[in-house]
Amino acid sequence: RGGSCRLFPLDAVRALTTKVYFECTGWQDAEDGSAPLVYALLLRRCRQGHCEEFCIYRGSLPTYGAVLPPGFAPHFQVGLAVVVQDQLGAAVVALNRSLAITLPEPPGDLPGGPGDLMTWLHGLTESMLPRLLRQADPQHVIEYSLALITVLNEASTGSEHSLAAAAELDTRRQLQAQIRKNVTETLVSLRVNTVDDIQQIAAALAQCTVSSGEPVCGSCLKQTLHKLEGMMRILQAETAAGTGTPTGIADSILNITGDLIHLASVDVQGPRPPELGMELPAHMVASRAYHLSSALMCIVMRSRVLDEEPLTLVGEEITARGKRSDPRSLLCQGDASLPGCPFSIPTAFSGALSNLSDVVQLMFLVDSNPFPFGYISNYTVSTKVASMAFQTQAGAHIPIGQLASERAITVKVPSSSDRAAQGP
C-alpha cells in the first residue's frame, strides 16, 4: 500500500564525497501489513544513446545513504529511482527524479598540489578501500568502489589533453592504472552468493575494464575471469524457463568479456610494467573471455520460452543474439534477414533440423578477434568475428555440417576497405 519516499540532498551533490539518502515511510504489504518490504535505490546515466544502470542498494532498510557515481559530462545528470517491492516480487516505483552529480573536489593540501584528483583517488584506494574491507560490509565496499572507479573513468576522459609533457602524461597513466588495479582487486575479493550480489559486483567490474589508454593490469584480467566464472555458476543454478531474463546482469558480464578481449589484445601489442604483468598468456585470456560470453548466452536463454521474441545483448565490444524457436523461424533466415545480420540463412536450411521442433539459436559478433588477435598490426580485412551455434533447450549442442549448397549458410563480414568506402 502507498507511502512516500524522498531524496536528500538535491543540490551541490558530488560523486564519491556527498552521501545521498532516500527515506521511505508509510509503505505496507497490501496482503500482510507486518511483512517486510524490500527497498532499492537505482541509478541510471546516459550518453549518446548509451545508458548504464546501477543498483546502488537493495535491502530491507527504508532509509539508506550512499555515495554515488557521477553523471556524464557536460551536464552530469543522472536518474535516481527508489523501488519498493514485496516478498512476492510485486514492485512500485516510489520516487523517480533527475539529479546533477558532478566530479568531486579533492582537498587542497595534497602532495601533488591543490586539486590533484588522481593523487587523491590513489590515496583513497590505499586507505579507504582497505578500511571498508576490514569492516566486512560488502555493500559499502561495492558502492564506494563503484563511485571511485566511475569518477576515475569520467576524470580520465579528455584530461590527457591538459598534460603538456610526455613524462607527465606517462606518470598520470601509471597512477590511473594503479587506481584501477586496486579497485579491481577489491571487488574480486568479495564473496558472491546471490544474483543480487552478481548484479552489483558485475556492474562495478564492468567499469573497471573500461579501456582508457593506461597500461593493462594483466593479473586483473585473470582475476576478473575467475570471478566471472563463479558468477556464471550461480546464474546457471538460478535461471530456468519462464523466469525473468537477467538482462541487466548479462549486459554487464558481456561488457566485461568484450573489454577483456580488447584489453588482452592491447596488452600483447604494448610494453607493460612488471607489477602489472600478465600471469595468463593474453591469447588464453581472450579465448576464455569469448567462451564465457557463449556460456552466458546459453544460461540466459534457458529463461526463454518457445517463440518468445529474440534476445539481444549489446556490449561495447560484443553483440549477442539468441532465439528459441521452430527451425523455420530462425534469425537471419530467408526474407526475415535483418540489416546487420552477420549470416544469411536460406529457407531450405530448416530441412537440416527437420527432426526438431524447438531449437535455441545463438549468434555473436565480436569487434576484436579473440583468436589470432593482436599479432598483426595492419589488418587488410575486418578483425570482427561472427559465430553462430544451435543447441537444444537443455543445452546440448546441435552439430551442423555437410550441408548441401541450397542449405549453405553464408557469413557476411565487411572488410576494412568496405567500411572505409562506406564512410562514417
- How high is the pLDDT of residue 215? 84
Give the full edge-to-edge strand order of the sheet including 63-67: 4-8, 19-25, 63-67
> Percentage of the chain surpassing pLDDT 90?
61
pLDDT in tens, 152-204: 999 987 555 555 566 778 888 899 999 999 999 999 999 999 999 999 999 99
Weakest-pLDDT range from 107-111, 209-213, 303-307 = 107-111
pLDDT in tens, 379-397: 555 567 889 999 998 889 9
- How high is the pLDDT of residue 282? 67
Instruction: Report the alpha-carbon distance of residue 68 to residue 84 in Å, rounded.
Output: 20
**397-412 mean pLDDT:** 91
Instruction: Report the alpha-carbon distance of residue 111 to residue 379 in Å, rounded.
Output: 45
User: Is pLDDT at 142 greater than 90 in this prediction?
Assistant: yes
3-state class (DSSP) for residue 262: helix
- Which residue did the predictor score with more confidence, 211 or 97? 97
**Which residue's entry shows cell 565496499?**
141
Residue-by-residue DSSP string for 64-95 = EEEE-----TTT-EEEEEEEEE-TTS-EEEEE
CB 254 within 8 A of CB 320: yes
User: Is pLDDT at 278 greater than 70 in this prediction?
Assistant: no
Instruction: Report the alpha-carbon distance of residue 228 to residue 255 in Å, rounded.
Output: 12
Q: Which structural domains are found in the chain, ordered by start?
A: 1-102 (2.60.40.10), 304-373+381-411 (no CATH)
CB 114 within 8 A of CB 108: yes
Instruction: Report the alpha-carbon distance of residue 241 to residue 303 in Å, rounded.
Output: 4
Checking DSSP bridges between strand 91-102 and strand 13-14, what pairing results, if any?
A: parallel
185's enclosing H/E stretch is helix 166-188
> Percentage of the chain surpassing pLDDT 70?
84
**145-150 mean pLDDT:** 98
What average pLDDT is seen over the chain?
86
Instruction: Report the alpha-carbon distance of residue 362 to residue 183 in Å, rounded.
Output: 33
> Distance between alpha carbon 263 and the CA centroid of its chain, in Å?
15
Which range scores top for mean pLDDT: 7-21, 151-165, 279-293, 407-421? 7-21
Phi, psi (5° rounding) for residue 306?
A: -60, 130
Going by C-beta distance under 8 Å and a sequence separation of 6 or more, which residues neighbour residue 162? none
Weakest-pLDDT range from 158-167, 345-354, 371-380 = 371-380
Strand partners, 79: 44, 98
Query: In which band, very low, low, confident or very high, does the pLDDT at 33 lie, cut at 50, 70 and 90?
Result: confident
**26-46 mean pLDDT:** 92
Nearest residue to 266 (alpha-carbon basis) of 177, 151, 191 = 177
User: Is pLDDT at 40 greater than 80 in this prediction?
Assistant: yes
Which range scores top for mean pLDDT: 160-174, 346-360, 399-413? 346-360
Cell of 324: 528459441
pLDDT in tens, 56-104: 999 999 999 999 999 999 999 999 999 999 988 889 999 999 999 999 9
3-state class (DSSP) for residue 100: strand
User: Is pLDDT at 266 greater than 90 in this prediction?
Assistant: no
User: Is pLDDT at 211 greater than 70 in this prediction?
Assistant: yes
Going by C-beta distance under 8 Å and a sequence separation of 6 or more, which residues neighbour residue 392? 356, 358, 359, 360, 398
- How high is the pLDDT of residue 268? 54
User: Is pLDDT at 44 greater than 80 in this prediction?
Assistant: yes
CB 180 within 8 A of CB 155: no
Whether omega for the bond prior to residue 215 falls within 30 degrees of 0, making it cis, is no
Query: In which band, very low, low, confident or very high, does the pLDDT at 417 lie, cut at 50, 70 and 90?
Result: very low
Q: Is the pTM for the entire model greater than 0.85?
A: yes
**Which residue's entry shows cell 579528455?**
158
- How high is the pLDDT of residue 421? 40
- How high is the pLDDT of residue 160? 52
User: Is pLDDT at 350 greater than 70 in this prediction?
Assistant: yes
User: Is pLDDT at 290 greater than 70 in this prediction?
Assistant: yes
Instruction: Report the alpha-carbon distance of residue 398 to residue 401 in Å, rounded.
Output: 10
